[in-house]
């Protein structure tokens, strides 16, 4: 069962070992002299706090990955000058997984020493240390594949709950979530209706909500749409769509008191590949290119509750899709994704969704689609209704029916 954003944030504060000791930070034994003063200094009265969340997923770790340290340079200078307290973590893998390099480290350089010369020196060294820490964080190799930006936000905001001064979250990521309600693998990256639909699903009330409480938090997204070489590449329009999506999700999570910004700062390529070990696979997010089409079929039209046996009424729509797939020129492959609604618990959701996907795939093959071109996947609990369907006016029953579905996606060469 999914938990609320706040509950997930509280539960995820225990570090998950992702960095394997790579992040040195500004500890007393840090070879970069001058940073030790930050480690044990308590924040000053009313000091602000900045939490830096660095994407460590496969889409940004390859050769030519985005240089977040360069992109964040101006912001880091501003926040150090303001004397903020800093936390830095890398996120990837399961929802809410963040490995903290350090938490609540003060950059109050004005209180760090006597005399303006020494104070200014500490300020400059703090900027240098934090910039290098961000660069080092990008070499982290995650334990698990997958990307959940909302989960990272929920964990990060947990460090800001007791902060009296200004609160800031900085997300350095390409924004390509592959898990949870903001899973973008099937997104078209084009319409405002799609953004509205994703936000509506993520904002589901009650225990299934995946939006963290960002009330009164200043959230900045950097690097959206900038992935490593060899990954799908976003054009300017797709980057703008990603910016609108994450601003919308942030505003839904924080209401009128949140400040949500997506900065389209130029992001260069890191001089060396980020990861030095084997990076767990992360599903690719293929930007919409006009060479695929998805047919979402409600589970109620295909199966009885808890069953993987197709109803007689399922034959007609599946036959129609099979004909479309096998007669269209340049067929590449057909992917069948089975989903279940959240009511069944975690005991059999994966196996049931896989059985349903297999049943649909067999019908497609039986109606002429080459077996070698059909892949069936049981995705478990649905991340929400398809992005092009608004859930604002749906009843709870209709939303469950939408979750309990099978998506058939046809790809052309």
Instruction: For residue 59, give the CATH number of its domain.
Output: 3.40.50
CATH number of residue 405's parent domain: 3.30.1330.60
pLDDT tier at 152, thresholds 50, 70, 90: very high
Domain count of the fold of the chain: 2
Alpha helices in 342-382 (DSSP H): 349-366
Residue 285 is assigned to a structural domain of this protein: no
Rounded Cα distance between 77 and 85, Å, is 13
Integer Cα distance of 277 and 111 in angstroms: 41
Do 240 and 360 lie in one domain? The reply is no
Q: Based on the domain organization, do 235 and 338 belong to the same domain?
A: no
The mean-pLDDT minimum among 19-23, 46-50, 225-229 falls in 19-23
| pLDDT 10s digits, 218-241 | 999 999 999 988 788 788 888 999
Q: Is residue 277 part of a domain?
A: no
173 and 227 belong to one structural domain:
yes
Domain membership flag for residue 80 = yes
Residues 216 and 350 occupy one common structural domain:
no
> CB neighbours of 371 closer than 8 A, spacing ≥ 6?
365
Of the two residues 190 and 220, the one the predictor is more confident about is 220
Statement to judge: residues 103 and 43 lie in one domain: yes
Instruction: Tell me which residue range forms the domain holding 323.
Output: 292-412
Give exposure, 195-214, as e/b (b: 16+ Cβ within 10 Å): bbbbbbbbbbeeebbbbbbb
% of the chain at pLDDT higher than 90 = 32
Residue 394 burial (C-beta neighbours within 10 Å; 0-12, 13-18, 19+): middle
Shared-domain flag, residues 228 and 302: no
Note whether 329 and 257 are same-domain residues: no
**331 belongs to a structural domain:** yes
Query: Does 278 fall in a domain?
Result: no
Q: Distance between terminal CA atoms of the chain?
A: 39
Give the integer Cα–Cα distance in Å for 27 and 291.
51
pLDDT bracket for residue 9 (50, 70, 90): very low
* Mean confidence (pLDDT) of the chain: 80
Q: Is the pLDDT of residue 167 over 60?
A: yes
Closest residue by Cα to residue 184 from 141, 136, 221, 147: 147
């Amino acid at each position: 069962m999914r938990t609320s954003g706040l509950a997930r944030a509280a539960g995820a504060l225990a570090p998950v070992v992702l960095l394997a000791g790579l992040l040195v930070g500004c500890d007393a034994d840090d070879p970069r002299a001058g940073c030790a003063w930050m480690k044990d200094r308590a924040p000053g009265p009313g000091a602000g706090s900045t939490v830096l969340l660095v994407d460590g997923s496969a889409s940004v770790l390859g050769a030519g990955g985005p240089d977040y340290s360069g992109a964040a340079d101006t912001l880091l200078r501003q926040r150090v000058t303001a004397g903020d307290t800093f936390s830095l973590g890398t996120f990837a893998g399961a929802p809410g997984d963040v490995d903290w390099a350090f938490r609540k480290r003060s950059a109050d350089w004005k209180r760090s020493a006597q005399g303006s010369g020494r104070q200014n020196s500490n300020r400059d060294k703090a900027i240098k240390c934090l910039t290098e820490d961000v660069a080092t964080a990008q070499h982290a190799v995650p334990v698990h594949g997958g990307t959940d930006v909302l989960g990272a936000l929920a964990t990060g905001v947990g460090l800001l709950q007791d902060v009296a001064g200004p609160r800031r979250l900085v997300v350095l990521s390409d924004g390509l979530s592959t898990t949870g309600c903001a899973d973008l693998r099937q997104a078209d990256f084009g319409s405002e209706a799609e953004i509205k639909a994703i936000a509506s699903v993520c904002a589901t009330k009650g225990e299934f909500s995946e939006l963290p409480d960002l009330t009164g938090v200043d959230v900045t997204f950097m690097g959206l749409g900038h992935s490593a070489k060899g990954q799908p590449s976003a054009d300017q329009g797709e980057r703008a769509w990603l910016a609108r999506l994450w601003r919308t999700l942030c505003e839904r999570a924080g209401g009128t008191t949140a400040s949500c910004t997506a900065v389209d700062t130029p992001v260069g390529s890191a001089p060396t590949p980020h990861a030095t070990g084997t990076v767990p696979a992360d599903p690719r997010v293929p930007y919409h290119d006009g060479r695929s089409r998805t047919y979402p079929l409600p589970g109620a039209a295909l199966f009885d509750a808890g069953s993987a046996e197709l109803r007689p009424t399922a034959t007609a729509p599946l036959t129609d899709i099979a004909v479309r797939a096998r007669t269209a020129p340049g067929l590449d492959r057909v992917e069948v994704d089975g989903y279940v609604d959240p009511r069944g618990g975690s005991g059999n959701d994966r196996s049931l969704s896989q059985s349903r996907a297999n049943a649909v795939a067999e019908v497609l093959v039986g109606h002429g689609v080459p077996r070698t071109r059909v892949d069936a996947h049981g995705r478990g609990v649905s991340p929400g209704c398809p992005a092009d369907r608004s859930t604002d006016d749906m009843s709870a029953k209709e939303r469950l029916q939408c979750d309990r579905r099978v998506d058939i996606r046809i790809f052309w060469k």
